[in-house]
Amino acid sequence: MTGWQTLLYKEVLRFWKVSFQTVAAPVLTALLYLLIFGHVLSDRVKVYDHISYTSFLVPGLVMMSVLQNSFANSSSSLIQSKITGNLVFVLLTPLSHWSWFVAYVGASVTRGLCVGLGVFIITVWFTHVGFAAPLWIVVFAVLGAGILGSLGVVAGLWAEKFDQMAAFQNFIIVPMTFLSGVFYSIHSLPPFWQQVSHLNPFFYMIDGFRYGFFGVSDVSPWLSLAIVGSAMAVVGSIAVHLLRIGYKIRG
Amino acid sequence: MPAVSFQSVTKNYSTARGSFQALDRVSFDIEDGEFFGLLGPNGAGKTTLISILAGLVRATSGRVVVRGHEVQGDYAAARRALGVVPQELVFDPFFTVREALRIQSGYFGVKNNEAWIDELLASLGLADKANANMRQLSGGMKRRVLVAQALVHRPPVIVLDEPTAGVDVELRQTLWQFIARLNREGHTVLLTTHYLEEAEALCSRIAMLKTGHVVALERTSDLLKAASTNVLRFKLDGPLPREFEGKASVTGRIVQLPAHDAHEIEQHLAIIREAGLRVEDVEIRKPDLEDVFIDVMSAERREGVTA
């Protein structure tokens, strides 16, 4: 293995060794959401005419799990290594900032997709979900995981304490995923909140992803792709830049 | 070409209380194959200098070159040439000893490294811990793994930042035998330590740092030769006579006094006799590195000491 492949392997091994916590637990959480919300709301909410609420919920839950776990992987790995000091083992190596980026984000995407696949396999038992445009599913899943993995790198470099990391996760990442249309179509919202939702990039990740299953969405998947692709470019550039200058990791 | 070249390295830190200068135009070279000691009290800048060498910290000005590779501009080649044992006892709790060593090899792109990993494990007394998780190891064992991790890519230049701090006698001997062997085989070694007898025994040349300045840079033998004074050492049962204050170094009952000649020795003993004190185990010995170190550190800063 070359240097960046080793770092990617190490980062994957890191979460895989504690997969109960990093993979199984989020799958169970998503299943609980499906059972509870699906049960409570299935008779009251109708989003699209030919799709049951439970079916509508599945892609949203899958994508939410992909996003949250991709973020959690790179951010928690970096903050733990910084606080325990073992990041020095990577800092002493000849690995370039691009190697760091590919390895940390690559491992995040891997974990995000593992959890997403797990959530899909479990939840699809309870309802029927189609595959109207499979390529869109893959593209949005990978891009969404990549954006959140990159954001996790940024947060992991920035945070100096677990408390700051928890704030980033609970006050930014979680609200933005919950308010992005996982549990509802934004067309059900008052006009003002529809406008606000259009400013949330997470909305486009989930809307585009859902299009891949049902062939219908709130906005055109091409618009979503443009916005999600741009977000990847912006967040990825910031992460690469911070790694290049050694932000908060090289004195 | 020197193994390591420090060229006017300066490091300023900005703190809440203003700017702090950790290193001030530090310049010296370490030749290929040398066993070099970097000494100085806590806060002298040793670890900052080593961190700049390793690329963990950037110099405010000046440059550091490792075997022709500048540590910032040509960092990949410089880091390939370096094996750094960090001072802090850090470890990755997710992995076993062997996994940690395989991963560290991989970062440097070293393939099929099992034979060398086995040799490192055996030489450092870690063979029976190869499959133990890092968390299960004692402090001394973790220190050995740190050394093995630094050496896993066979670096020509080995940097040890206080590797024997808080380490038992057995490990120190194992470690020094192994490092001395690597040095005989051609590896350059840069060592910082607070154990001056270790530095005296191992290092052929020594630099002393004080508040960010090089205050001595000489062959170890020359440093010892230059110390003109002998040392009068005895055990004292009673309070230290006032005449000795500021001159004597005292460790419990043991008192050590510089003494240039027989006349000065007589004077010291006369003071003790007049004070009505008893002494035991009197001996006169040659100065060691500790005496030189105390002498250099207590002297006013000598201007213009350079390579």
Kindly write down the DSSP assignment for every residue of A57-68, as one continuous string. HHHHHHHHHHHH
Judge whether A29 lies within some domain. Answer: yes
Give the percent of chain B with pLDDT over 70. Answer: 97
At residue B300, the pLDDT reads 52
Name chain A contacts of B58, Cβ cutoff 8 Å: 246, 250-251
Q: Are A116 and A62 in contact (CB under 8 A)?
A: yes
Q: Where are the domains of chain B?
A: 4-81+155-224, 229-286
H-assigned helices in A22-52: 25-41
A251 and B57 Cβ atoms separated by less than 8 Å? yes
Give the total number of structural domains in chain A.
Answer: 1
Residues in chain A with pLDDT < 70? none
Q: Which residue of B has its CA nearest to A84?
A: B90
Q: What is the mean pLDDT of chain B?
A: 90
**Least CB–CB distance from B103: residue in A6, A250, A251:** A6
For the residues of A84-134, what is the DSSP string, one character each? HSTTHHHHTS---HHHHHHHHHHHHHHHHHHHHHHHHHHHGGGS----S-H
Residues of chain A contacting residue B76, judged by C-beta atoms under 8 Å apart: 94, 96
Residue B63: exposed, middle, or buried by beta-carbon count in 10 A (0-12, 13-18, 19+)? middle
Which residues of chain A neighbour B95 with C-beta distances below 8 Å? 13
Cα B141 from Cα B175, distance rounded (Å): 11
- In this prediction, residue B46 carries a pLDDT of 94
Cβ <8 Å between A90 and B82: no
Residues 6+ apart with CB under 8 A from B54: A91, A92, B71, B79, B82, B84, B159
Q: Which numeric CATH code is attached to B4-81+155-224?
A: 3.40.50.300
pLDDT of residue B292: 82
Question: Per-residue pLDDT for B259 more than 90?
Answer: no
Q: Cα–Cα distances in Å, from A144 out to A1, A39, A103, A117, A141?
A: 27, 28, 17, 14, 5
Which residue of B lies nearest to A100 if distances are taken between CA atoms?
A: B107
- The one-letter amino acid code at B112 reads N
Min Cα distance A81 → chain B (Å) is 8
- Asked whether residue A127 is domain-assigned, the answer is yes
How far apart CA B258 and CA A69 sit, in angstroms, is 67
B17 or A83: which leads in pLDDT = A83
| Contacts with A22 from chain B: Cβ below 8 Å | none
User: In whole angstroms, what is the distance from residue A9 CA to residue A221 CA?
Assistant: 33
Return the number of other C-beta atoms located less than 10 Å from residue A51's C-beta. 19
Q: How far is CA A41 from CA A34, A62, A182, A184, B110, in A?
A: 10, 18, 13, 10, 57
Domain assignment present for residue A7? The answer is: yes
Judge whether A250 lies within some domain. no
Residues contacting residue A11 through CB under 8 Å, at least 6 positions apart:
A73, A74, A77, A103, A104, A106, A107
User: With an 8 Å Cβ cutoff, are B56 and A250 in contact?
Assistant: yes
Best of B20, B58, B107 to mutate (most A CBs within 10 Å, chain A): B107
pLDDT class of B307 with cuts at 50, 70, 90: very low
Q: Provide the domain limits for residue A38.
A: 3-245
* Tokens 């206080």 sit on residue: B162
